[in-house]
Amino acid sequence: MKFLQDLMFNKIRPNFAKGGKFEKYYKAYEAMETFAFVPPHTTHSGAHIRDAIDLKRTMFLVVIALVPSLLFGMWNTGHQYYLSIGEMTGLMDGMIDKLLFGAIRVLPLVIVSYVVGLGIEFGVAVAKNHSVNEGYLVSGMLIPLVLPSELPLWMAAVATAFAVIIGKEVFGGTGMNILNPALTARAFLFFAYPTKMSGNMVWIPQESGMAQVDGYTGETLLSQAYNAPAGTEFGSVAYNAAGEPFGSLAETMSASFWGWIPGSIGETSAFAILIGAAILLYTGIGSWRIMLSFLVGGLAMSSIFNAWGANSFMMVHPIQQLLMGSFLFGMVFMATDPVSAAQTNTGKWIYGFFAGFFGIMIRVFNPAYPEGIMMAILFMNVMAPLIDHYVVQANINRRMKRAKLATA
């Protein structure tokens, strides 16, 4: 490794140091070097030893947690396509073909997201002479996973640029932002190009010259639930990309859990998401308070709708309601973003609960589009500082009260 270090960094470092040719680009160089080698910085004040964890490790572990969703998303993109044209419809058929088909659709989105996002991050770091923050390692993976696989790449690029600049850099970079950057990207697309982000035509890839099977609608389960005729039980009328009904609630639930249904790339498989959740919870990187309260909030709202039962969307079984759409993905990867979430422990409970609660509420009431998790989390991102303010104020009041008792 000494060799590598000499070759890659020790030789060219003087060019970037003060007085060197590329002095201006020092921060970009530093990001590269610290990426390859944990720097030899030693503690210079305060505690002489420090925990092994740093932001690179933290962010990297979140990326690891996203890998199951990414891989499944690739396969599922292929699977949905082949299902829609009526070839290799069995789950185990053409595993490699489906994965390759999906990879060709998904990886360009991932690459565009990273190239555009990191490009802006490096540019801003150089311009403002601050260090490149690792936060984008995660955002760059989250953005493609919440997009439909059919999204044109240039749109993904525009959305990423918007998210990084307006969602993050104008506030001062990672740690200072108010909204979750990945959700900002999705919200931007949703409002800027609604036809590419909703409806029935965006979820399943189409190739020219390939005809879809009879009964094909391209609808997501949420859209089916939204449009289900009054009085029907959603679980037993839901159907897959080829238009074949699942038959029973249990079958629908199972398909939603494993994730072979249409939807955004990373959101369909509850199973893959839960693997990620296990990694985040076990390493202590994701907040269990937020995840748990988010789940409880979602369950509470869908149970209330069940009891109310004004239409068939409200009557969807609570568990099925949570398995569909982006509820779990939002719960595990979006709501838990420590920067945009509430920061106090009490605040996290409140924040998570209402994000889940409003998520389902908006999903069912939204007249334009049957999903609301993104909106609910963004709304709670905005509310989080207010929640924290009251939690901290309660602490201050306790202290004041104590002081009063002592003097009385």
35 is written with which tokens?
């990426």
Q: Residue 362 and residue 302: Cα distance in Å, rounded? A: 11
> Measured between alpha carbons, how far is 338 from 314 in angstroms, rounded to an integer?
32
**13 touches other proteins by CB under 8 A:** no
CA–CA separation, 68 and 90 (whole Å): 21
Select 78 or 173, whichever has its Cβ closest to other proteins: 173
Helix segments in 309-332, DSSP class H? 318-323, 327-329
C-alpha–C-alpha distance, residues 371 and 337, integer Å: 20
**SS3 category, 245:** strand
d(CA 13, CA 118): 22
Give the footprint of other proteins on residues 75-134 (CB under 8 A).
131, 133-134
Beta carbon nearer to other proteins, 303 or 343: 343
Which residues fall within 8 angstroms of residue 3, CB to CB, at 6 or more apart? Answer: none
Burial of 1: CB neighbours in 10 Å, binned 0-12, 13-18, 19+? exposed
In the shown chain, the binding pattern of residues 254 to 283 toward other proteins, with x for contact by CB under 8 A and - for none, equals ----------------------------xx
Residues 19 to 48: which contact other proteins by CB under 8 A? 34, 36-43, 45-48
CB under 8 A: which stretch of 149-157, 215-223, 256-264, 399-407 binds other proteins?
Answer: 399-407
Q: Is 14 in the site for other proteins (CB under 8 A)?
A: no
- What angle (nearest 5°) sits at the alpha carbon of residue 108, between those of residues 27 and 263? 120
Distance of CA 187 to the CA centre of its chain: 12
Q: Is 365 a binder of other proteins (CB under 8 A)?
A: no
**Which CB, 43 or 195, lies closer to other proteins?**
43
| Least distance in angstroms from the C-beta of 19 to other proteins | 23
Q: Which of residues 281-340 bind other proteins (CB under 8 A)?
A: 282-285, 287, 338-339
Which member of 159, 341, 350, 360 binds other proteins (CB under 8 A)? 341
Q: Residue 142 corresponds to which tokens in the numbers above?
A: 């989250």
Q: Which C-beta is closer to other proteins: that of 131 or that of 366?
A: 131
Kindly state the number of chain residues that form the binding site for other proteins, as judged by CB under 8 A: 59
Q: Which is nearer to other proteins, 55 or 115 (CB)?
A: 55
Task: Give the nearest distance from C-beta 35 to other proteins in angstroms.
Answer: 8
State yes or no: residue 139 binds other proteins (CB under 8 A). no
Tell me which of 227, 232, 254, 345 binds other proteins, using CB under 8 A.
345
**Smallest gap from residue 266 Cβ to other proteins (A):** 22
Contact between 356 and 332 (Cβ < 8 Å): no
Torsion of Cα atoms, 161 then 164 then 166 then 172, to 10°? -150
Q: How far apart are CA 289 and CA 42, in angstroms?
A: 34
For residue 403, state whether it binds other proteins (rule: CB under 8 A): yes
Out of 344, 354, 355, 374, point to the residue binding other proteins (CB under 8 A): 344
Contact between 52 and other proteins (CB under 8 A)?
Answer: yes
Rounded to the nearest whole angstrom, what is the least distance from the CB of residue 142 to other proteins in the complex?
Answer: 15
**Residues 174 to 213 in contact with other proteins, rule: CB under 8 A:** 174-176
Minimum distance from CB of 28 to other proteins (Å)? 14
The nearest distance, CB 338 to other proteins, in angstroms, is 5
Q: What is the spatial distance between Cα 209 and Cα 221, in angstroms, rounded to a whole number?
A: 26
Q: Residue 245 phi/psi, 5° resolution?
A: -65, 145
398 binds other proteins, rule: CB under 8 A: yes
Residue 33, class by beta-carbon neighbours within 10 Å (0-12 exposed, 13-18 middle, 19+ buried)?
middle
Distance CA 275, CA 273 (A): 5
**Site track 207-246 with other proteins (rule: CB under 8 A), x = hit:** ----------------------------------------
Options 54, 87, 93, 244; binder of other proteins; rule CB under 8 A: 54
In 3D space, the residue among 32, 203, 205, 200 whose CA is nearest the CA of residue 104 turns out to be 205
Given the complex with other proteins, which of 160 and 344 has the nearer CB atom? 344
- What is the contact surface with other proteins in residues (CB under 8 A)? 1, 4-5, 34, 36-43, 45-58, 60-61, 131, 133-135, 172-176, 282-285, 287, 338-339, 341, 343-345, 348, 392, 395-396, 398-400, 402-403, 406-407
